[in-house]
């Protein structure tokens, strides 16, 4: 009996996730937002999205079109999705594997290291739109005090118009070849 209850709950949770994601995707397609576009990687899997993030104007990322994946779990919207850039990108808050480190994508609750306030972290009212707008904002204004890529943060702080700009522009050029 317990096993059947777990299965029913899992199915019910997946159903809620599917409705939330389908609604979000329809809203984004009906009312596109400047700076990104989103769709499913595979039409049969609502949990895996492909996102194209345009480099924000007046930044070194301007002109780039960076591909990323947004992966949802069956616990969404109670837990945040994960975001990973597939395109190479040089940024203090994106690790060398492309994983995005931003407060809005950190699990709800208190930060065990005491760096972030709980109010900065994930809450279920966030949408795909709010996530992506936060990521675009992060591209323009990194948090170099809590870097996922220490070398990029060092370049950002110490050689912004030199080495940092050169590495970002190289990534932008690579997206033009896609």
Q: Give the contacts of 155 (CB within 8 A, at least 6 positions apart).
A: 90, 163, 164, 167
171 part of the active site: no
Candidates 17, 28, 70, 101; catalytic one:
101
Q: Average pLDDT in the 13-33 region?
A: 68
Instruction: Please state, in angstroms and rounded to a whole number, the distance separating the CA atoms of residues 122 and 5.
Output: 28
Query: pLDDT at position 17, please?
Result: 55
At residue 1, does pLDDT exceed 60? no
104-108, 132-136, 155-159: least confidently modelled range: 104-108
Q: Average pLDDT in the 153-174 region?
A: 98
Give the percent of the chain with pLDDT over 70. Answer: 87
Query: pLDDT at position 2, please?
Result: 29
DSSP character string of 61-90: TTT-EEEEEEE--TTTTTS--EEEESS---
Q: Give the contacts of 129 (CB within 8 A, at least 6 positions apart).
A: 24, 27, 28, 33
Report the CATH number of the 8-177 domain.
3.10.110.10
pLDDT tier, 8 (very low <50, low <70, confident <90, very high otherwise) = very low
Query: Could you tell me the residue ranges of all domains in the chain?
Result: 8-177
Instruction: Please state, in angstroms and rounded to a whole number, the distance separating the CA atoms of residues 109 and 112.
Output: 9
């Amino acid at each position: 009996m317990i096993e059947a209850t777990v299965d029913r709950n899992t199915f019910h949770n997946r159903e809620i996730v599917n409705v939330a994601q389908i609604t979000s995707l329809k809203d984004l397609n009906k009312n596109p937002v400047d700076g990104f576009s989103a769709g499913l990687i595979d039409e049969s899997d609502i949990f895996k999205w492909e996102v194209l993030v345009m480099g924000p104007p007046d930044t070194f990322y301007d002109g780039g079109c960076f591909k990323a994946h947004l992966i949802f779990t069956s616990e969404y919207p109670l837990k945040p999705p994960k975001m990973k850039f597939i395109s190479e990108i040089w940024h203090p808050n994106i690790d060398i594997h492309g994983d995005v480190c931003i407060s809005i994508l950190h699990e709800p609750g208190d930060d065990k290291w005491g760096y972030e306030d709980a109010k900065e972290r994930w809450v279920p009212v966030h949408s795909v739109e709010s996530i992506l707008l936060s990521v675009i904002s992060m591209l323009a204004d990194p948090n170099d005090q809590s870097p996922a890529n220490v070398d990029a943060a060092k370049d950002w702080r110490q050689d912004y118009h030199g080495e940092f700009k050169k590495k970002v522009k190289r990534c932008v050029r690579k997206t033009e070849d896609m």
